[in-house]
Structure 1
Amino acid sequence: MKRILPPLLFGLIGAAILVALGTWQLQRLDWKRGILSEIETTISGPAQPLPTLISPAEQKYQPVELTGTIADDALFVLVSAKRIGAGWRVISPFTTTEGRTLLLDRGFIPVAQKAAPARPEPVTITGNLHWPDDRNSSTPDNDVAKNTWFARDINQMSEVLKTEPLLVIARSMTPPDPGLTLMPVDTAGIPNDHMQYAITWFSLAVVWLLMTGAFLWRRSKED
C-alpha cells in the first residue's frame, strides 16, 4: 500500500488540477458569451450622434446614421473574404451634411478591381464606429506610396485622407454603392475558444487517470 499511495495521490492531484482548469475555461466561456452578447446588442442598437469627444473604449461599435457625400480619394486595405477570396476594403473620406469629414469603410471589392468612384450625390449611411485591431507582429507596414494597406491604422489613414480620426464601417447605404459588397462589423472575428480549451483540459484529465491506473496496475503485478 505504501508503494501505491504516492503515485495514486500524484495521479489524483494531477487529474484534479486538470479538471479545475477545464472548469475555469467553462466559466470563461460563459463570461465571453456575455461579452459577445453585449457587443451584438450594441452593434444592432439605435443610431446615436457622432461623438465630438473621441473615446474608443466607450464608443467602439456605436451605431450611427449619417447623410453626406463620398469623396474621390480612397485607400485600399488587402483582405480575404470567405467564399470570395482576396480583395480590398475600400476606405474613403465621407463628409456629413454637418460638415464633418471622417473615414468610411465602404466594403469589399475583388483584388483585380482597385478602384472606387466618388459619390457626389447625397448618400445615407447606417453603420458602426470601430477601432479595428488589424495589426500583429507579422503584419507588413502599409505601403502608402502604392496605396496598399495591410491594416486599418486609423490615425495614419486620417492623416493621408485629411479626415477626423473616426472610422465608420457601413452596414447599409442608400442608394447602394455599385460594385462593393458591404462588410459590416460583427462578432465573428472575436475569438471564443474556451470550449475547445475546456475539452482539452478534461481530456488530459482522463488520460492522466488512465495512465495512473495503468501504472498502478503494473506495480500491483510486480508485487
Structure 2
Amino acid sequence: MRIKKTRFPYFATLFTCLSVFILIGLGTWQVYRLDWKNELISNLSSEYKKDAARYPLDFKTLLTIEDNNLKRGFITGQFDFSKEITVGPRRFKGKFGYDVITPFKLQGGGTILVDRGWMETSDSIILNRKKTWRTGKVSLVGTARTPKVPWDFGPRNAPSKNLWIYLDPDEIAVSKNLPDLLPVVFYLDETAATQNDRIISSTERVFPNNNHLMYAIFWYSMAIVLLYIYYLRFWRNR
C-alpha cells in the first residue's frame, strides 16, 4: 500500500513563527515596562515619605514635574480667591460635594492651582461668603503633581458657565486669565487645610497602575498556546 506524503506546511509554519516572535516581543516589552513602573512607584513612595516642610518649591522646580511624577514640599505666596472654582461633584463618605481649587500666586513669579480639599455641597454654596480665608503671604505644605486625566467618554468642562467636572489647567488658565499658570496642581496636606472652612484635605496617595506582569504572562501564554495548536494540527500525527 502506497503511503501518501503530507506536504510540509510552509505557510502555517511561517505564520506561526512570525506570530510567536511578535507575541514574545510584546511579552518582553511588558517585562521592561514592569521594571520601569516598579522603579517609578518606588521613587513615588520615597517622595511621599519626605518631610515636605523642609523642601521649598519654586516656579522652575514645579515646571520640571512630568506625568506620573510628583514633588513633596512647600510653596510660598498668596491666594487669589477672586478666581476660585469648585470641581465636581465628588463623593466622599456617602456625601456629595466639590473640590475647592484656588489659584495661588507664587513668591518669585508664576501661579499654581491649589486643591484645598473637599467641601460638602451645602457648604460650597456659601463658599464665597466665608470670612475665614487666609489672606496675605502664606506658606503651604503638600504635594505637587499633574492632575488625573479625565475619562475620554465622560462629561466635559463648560468654562463659559464656570462648570468644572475635572481639573484642566490649560482650560482654567484661559477661562480665568492666568497666563502664567503651571500645568501641575498643588494638593494641600491634611494638616495644612483651613480648619474653619470645613474643607477636608485629600490624603490620597496616587500611584500609576501596574499591570505589566499580568500583560507579560498573557502574551507569553498566547505564544505557548499558538505553538501547541501548531503542533496538534501539523505534527502530532506525523
- TM-score, normalisation: structure 2: 0.67
Q: 1:214/1:43 Cα in 2 relative to 1: closer, same or farther (>3 Å)? A: same
Is it true that 1:90 corresponds to 2:90 in the alignment? Answer: no
Aligned partners of 1:158 and 1:51: how far apart in 2? 19
1:136 positional shift: 6.0
- Corresponding letter in the other structure for 1:20: G
2:44 aligned partner: 39
Is it true that 1:104 corresponds to 2:114 in the alignment? Answer: yes
Aligned partners of 2:30 and 2:228: how far apart in 1? 22
- Corresponding letter in the other structure for 1:33: N
Which of the numbers 175, 198, 201 marks the counterpart of 1:182? 201
Aligned partners of 2:44 and 2:234: how far apart in 1? 50
Kindly indicate whether the alpha-carbon contact (under 8 Å) linking 1:125 and 1:172 is maintained by their aligned counterparts in 2: no
1:204 aligned partner: 222
Aligned partners of 2:224 and 2:94: how far apart in 1? 42
Q: 1:134/1:182 Cα in 2 relative to 1: closer, same or farther (>3 Å)? A: same
Kindly indicate whether the alpha-carbon contact (under 8 Å) linking 1:69 and 1:120 is maintained by their aligned counterparts in 2: no
- Corresponding letter in the other structure for 1:194: H
Unpaired segments ≥5 residues, structure 1: none
- Decide which moves more: 94-103 or 193-202: 94-103
Aligned partners of 2:19 and 2:143: how far apart in 1? 47
Aligned partners of 2:46 and 2:100: how far apart in 1? 26
- Corresponding letter in the other structure for 2:132: R
Unpaired segments ≥5 residues, structure 2: none
1:50 aligned partner: 57
1:30 positional shift: 0.7
Q: How does 1:1-223 map to 2 (within 5 A)?
A: 3-4=7-8, 6=10, 7=12, 10-11=15-16, 14-45=19-50, 46=52, 47-53=54-60, 56-58=63-65, 61-66=70-75, 72-73=81-82, 74-78=84-88, 80=90, 84=94, 87-94=97-104, 102-110=112-120, 113-115=123-125, 116=127, 117=130, 119-121=132-134, 125-135=140-150, 137-138=152-153, 140-158=155-173, 160=176, 165-166=181-182, 167-174=185-192, 176-177=194-195, 178-184=197-203, 186-188=205-207, 190-216=208-234, 220=237
- TM-score, normalisation: structure 1: 0.71
Aligned partners of 1:175 and 1:107: how far apart in 2? 7
1:63 positional shift: 2.1
Q: 1:102/1:28 Cα in 2 relative to 1: closer, same or farther (>3 Å)? A: closer
1:48 positional shift: 2.6
1:79 positional shift: 5.5
* Count of aligned pairs: 219
Per-residue deviation, residues 97-134 of structure 1 (Å, max 9, x unmatched): 99987531012234565344453347763212233253
Kindly indicate whether the alpha-carbon contact (under 8 Å) linking 1:48 and 1:64 is maintained by their aligned counterparts in 2: yes
Aligned partners of 1:212 and 1:83: how far apart in 2? 54
- Decide which moves more: 161-170 or 190-199: 161-170
Higher relative helix content = 2
Aligned partners of 2:62 and 2:169: how far apart in 1? 14
Kindly indicate whether the alpha-carbon contact (under 8 Å) linking 2:111 and 2:181 is maintained by their aligned counterparts in 1: no
- Decide which moves more: 62-71 or 33-42: 62-71
